[in-house]
């Protein structure tokens, strides 16, 4: 019986759709497309902003796994041991040890008058092996001006563009930047009372804070500046070979006892807290906006089907009058709803994957801490499509049922 | 075939209650051709709706093909109309988005007759009523007389036990009316039970029996 109703419902739906007004159908499908885009794109962009940031942080700073000093220590004690362990692990593709310390950078000290305030900025000085660092994070790809460090550079630094007045428009009391500093300019670094004059070799641009606010120097000289005799480093960023799971690798390091003298984190663990918080907030926000879209489209479909069924009430009565099962008539409206939802979703899918995703990839949204892309994993999109179809079915079923259940004869004669 | 006992139908509209059928006793035998006549507003259509189970009476009994109507659920009534009744509505009642043949085939498909046979039967009915050349037209592309014939073809395509027709000739010219009546007579000869409402004496005379209704009661039953 159900199958028969399904067959008759389909028979009726097909002919109603085929002979429906093109503009009405077009309008309904258009609403469905917009709803679909609302479901997928709004949250996809919100998530994409964060994903872009996470990806940048992963690629440009932490690598797949990062080992850093314990919270109560200045350095990773026994660093050479850990480096030896890493060298002997098959999973490791490349790694880069870093020394890091806070410095005060000062510019324009030569032209400064006694009454002038010193032009200083506090920053993090990071000592790197330029080759290893470039292999892990591709730091040399982020040169805005000037050139990258070579291992033999002495008294040369790379400076993040957020430390330079000409690149930052922010002017707030607690934010200081260096003025008139270009490639070739000299600046003074002060660490623990020791001052050193260095030359700017290049300017770095990135959306990752540690890079755009950092000062990079060859590691041997940085150690000397810091007055360090030991070989202990501040952090080691590690890239793994393709297919190696960072979590599994982290477990191996823990088994090797690395966690006794250092903190071991995967790139996901090491995300800045604000990103972790924002991911959840944005996901909630995205779902909230999507839900509103879903409700709006459900109501739209409800009204469309209701009006459609109401204006066709006489014919629904005739159908029942000649013996067509009410269920079959309801099913015909469900089929129509499915048709709208499917067509809308299909057009939406094409738009998302063939137009919007490539478009956002080519032209990411310039967000202060990331290049926002559109993240729309197929599985998630299909779930949303399914949601849309289910809500449409319900929205189409209820009004058709309301009309179909009315008294047959009253419907035929147009009585109330 | 049909037995109606003390049938009463009244409509309530707030305080006022209008009695339309005021106690009707009636029966029709298998194969009978009955014409129902009466003034406009006498209750003829209302009577037909009760017998075809499109409506339910206020009181009284309808026994049709051995079944008491008040024992049936609305789904059973729908199924009864599908399998045992043919109904020709006063205003054709065709479905506008279905072609001629689709209008006729739909109730056949609903009876789970396979597609090929159903279309064959629908086509036969339409050819019989001289609409074989209009199978693919939509109702809006047909004349009133043609639409009425589609409506008749739909009603008789599966050889129902009873054919109800509510003024099947009301909107037709003489020639078309005559054609419809000829067709009814032919069906009657084949044994079809027909209950037809009509205004026109000349067509009523073609039936075996004329039942006159006035003010909700049967005032005469004349065997022709
Ligand atoms: N739902 C209703 N509520 C109130 N009165 C109704 C209702 N339906 C029908 N009537 C009344 O019942 C009476 C009989 O109506 P019916 O349609 O059966 O007449 P009829 O004999 O078929 O007339 P006609 O020849 O004009 O078709 C009419 O007076 C009509 O006003
Ligand atoms: Mg009438």
**What gap in Å lies between CA B144 and CA B146, rounded to an integer?**
5
pLDDT of residue A366: 82
Q: For the segment A317-337, what is each residue's pLDDT rounded down to a tens digit?
A: 999 999 999 999 999 999 999
Residue B126 Cα to ligand 2 middle (Å):
26
pLDDT digits (tens, 9 = 90+) for B88-122: 998 889 999 999 999 999 999 999 999 999 999 99
The SS3 call for residue A19 is coil
Which residues 68-97 of B are in CB contact (within 8 Å) with A?
75, 78-83, 85, 87, 89, 93-97
Q: Inform me whether the pLDDT recorded for A287 exceeds 70.
A: yes
pLDDT of residue A112: 80
Task: Please state which CATH class domain B2-223 belongs to.
Answer: alpha beta
Atom of ligand 1 nearest to the CA of B213: 21
Closest CA to A104 of A226, A191, A228: A191
Give the pLDDT score at A174: 65
Phi, psi of A190 (to 5 degrees): -125, 120
Written as one string, the DSSP assignment of A77-95 is TTHHHHHHHHHT-TTEEEE
Query: What pLDDT digit, counting tens, does each position of A357-393 carry?
Result: 999 888 888 877 778 888 888 888 898 889 888 988 9
Q: Provide residues with CB under 6 Å of ligand 1.
A: A 415; B 11, 18, 20, 38, 40-46
> Nearest residue CA, atom 16 of ligand 1?
B43
**What's the gap in Å between B163 CA and the centre of ligand 1?**
21
Q: Which pLDDT band holds residue A172 (cuts at 50, 70, 90)?
A: low
B137–chain A Cβ distance below 8 A for any pair: no
DSSP symbol at A115: T
Q: Which residues of B touch A7 (CB under 8 A)?
A: 109
The half-sphere exposure of B48 on its side-chain side, counting CA atoms within 13 A, is 29
Residues of chain B with pLDDT under 50: none
Nearest-Cα distance to chain B for A46, in Å, is 46
Is residue A411 over pLDDT 70?
Answer: yes
The reply to whether residue B96 touches residue A4, judged by beta carbons under 8 angstroms, is no
Alpha-carbon torsion angle A411, A413, A415, B3, nearest 10: -90
CA distances A415 to A146, A296, A406, B43, B96, Å, are: 85, 32, 10, 16, 20
Output the pLDDT for position A371.
80
- What are the domain boundaries of chain B? 2-223
* Cα distances (Å, whole numbers) of residue B112 to A4, A73, B116, B133: 7, 82, 11, 26
A128 pLDDT tier (thresholds 50, 70, 90): very high
Cβ atoms within 10 Å of A129's Cβ, excluding its own: 18
Please give the pLDDT value at position A24: 86
Burial level of A143, CB count in 10 A (0-12/13-18/19+)? middle
What pLDDT, in 10s, does the model give residues A207-227?
888 999 999 999 999 988 888
Report the percent of chain B where pLDDT is more than 90: 82
Confidence band for A173, pLDDT divided at 50, 70 and 90:
low
Residue A1: is its pLDDT beyond 90? Answer: no
Average pLDDT, chain A: 89
pLDDT value, residue B166: 94
d(CA A42, CA A275): 18
pLDDT band at A231 (very low <50, low <70, confident <90, very high): confident
């Amino acid at each position: 019986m159900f199958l028969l109703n399904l067959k008759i419902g389909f028979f009726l739906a097909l002919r109603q759709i085929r002979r429906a007004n093109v503009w009405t159908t077009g309008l309904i499908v258009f609403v469905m497309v917009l709803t679909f885009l609302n479901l997928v794109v709004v949250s996809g962009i919100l998530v994409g902003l964060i994903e872009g940031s996470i990806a940048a942080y992963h690629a440009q700073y932490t690598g797949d796994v990062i080992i850093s000093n314990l919270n109560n220590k200045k350095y990773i004690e026994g660093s050479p041991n850990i480096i030896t362990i890493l060298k002997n692990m098959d999973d490791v593709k490349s790694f880069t040890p870093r020394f890091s310390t806070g410095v005060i950078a000062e510019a324009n000290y030569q032209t400064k008058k006694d009454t002038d305030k010193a032009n200083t900025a506090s920053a993090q000085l990071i000592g790197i092996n330029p080759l290893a660092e470039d292999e892990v994070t591709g730091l040399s790809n982020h040169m805005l001006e000037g050139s990258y460090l070579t291992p033999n550079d002495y008294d040369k630094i790379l400076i993040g563009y957020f430390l330079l007045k000409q690149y930052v428009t922010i002017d707030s009391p607690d934010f200081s930047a260096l003025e008139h500093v270009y490639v070739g300019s000299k600046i003074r670094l002060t660490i623990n009372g020791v001052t050193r004059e260095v030359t700017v070799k290049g300017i770095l641009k990135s959306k990752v804070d540690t890079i755009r606010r950092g000062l990079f120097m060859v590691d041997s000289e940085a150690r000397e500046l810091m007055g360090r005799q030991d070989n202990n480093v501040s952090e080691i960023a590690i890239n793994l070979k393709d297919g190696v799971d960072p979590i599994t690798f982290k477990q191996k390091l823990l088994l090797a006892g690395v966690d006794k003298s250092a903190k071991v984190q995967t790139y996901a663990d090491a995300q800045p807290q604000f990103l972790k918080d924002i991911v959840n907030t944005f996901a909630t926000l995205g779902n909230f906006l999507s839900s509103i879209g879903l409700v709006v489209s459900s109501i739209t479909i409800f009204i469309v089907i209701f009006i459609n069924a109401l204006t066709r009430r006489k014919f629904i009565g005739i159908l029942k009058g000649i013996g067509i099962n009410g269920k079959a008539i309801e099913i015909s409206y469900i089929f129509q709803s499915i048709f709208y939802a499917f067509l809308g979703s299909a057009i939406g899918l094409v738009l998302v994957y063939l137009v919007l995703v490539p478009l956002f990839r080519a032209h990411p949204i310039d967000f202060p801490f990331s290049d926002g892309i559109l993240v729309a994993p197929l599985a998630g999109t299909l779930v949303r499509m399914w949601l849309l179809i289910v809500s449409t079915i319900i929205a189409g079923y209820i009004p058709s049922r309301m009309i179909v259940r009315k008294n047959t004869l009253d419907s035929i004669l147009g009585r109330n | 075939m049909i037995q109606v006992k003390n049938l009463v139908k009244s409509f309530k509209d707030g305080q006022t209650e209008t009695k339309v059928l005021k106690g009707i006793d009636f029966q029709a035998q298998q194969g009978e051709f009955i014409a129902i006549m009466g003034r406009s507003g006498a209750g003829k259509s209302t009577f037909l709706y009760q017998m075809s189970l499109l409506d339910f009476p206020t009181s009284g009994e309808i026994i049709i093909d051995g079944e008491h109507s008040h024992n049936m659920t609305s789904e059973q009534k729908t199924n009864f109309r599908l399998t045992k009744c043919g109904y020709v509505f006063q205003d054709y009642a065709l479905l506008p988005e279905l072609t001629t043949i689709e209008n006729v085939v739909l109730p056949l498909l609903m009876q789970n007759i396979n597609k090929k046979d159903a279309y064959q039967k629908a086509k036969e009915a339409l050819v019989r009523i001289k609409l074989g050349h209009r199978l693919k037209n939509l109702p809006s592309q047909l004349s009133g007389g043609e639409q009425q014939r589609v409506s008749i073809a739909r009603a008789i395509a599966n050889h129902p036990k009873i054919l109800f027709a509510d003024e099947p000739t009301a909107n037709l010219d003489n020639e078309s009316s005559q054609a419809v009546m000829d067709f009814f007579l032919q069906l009657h000869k084949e044994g079809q039970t027909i209950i037809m409402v009509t205004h026109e004496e000349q067509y009523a005379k073609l039936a075996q029996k004329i039942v006159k209704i006035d003010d909700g009661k049967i005032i005469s039953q004349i065997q022709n």
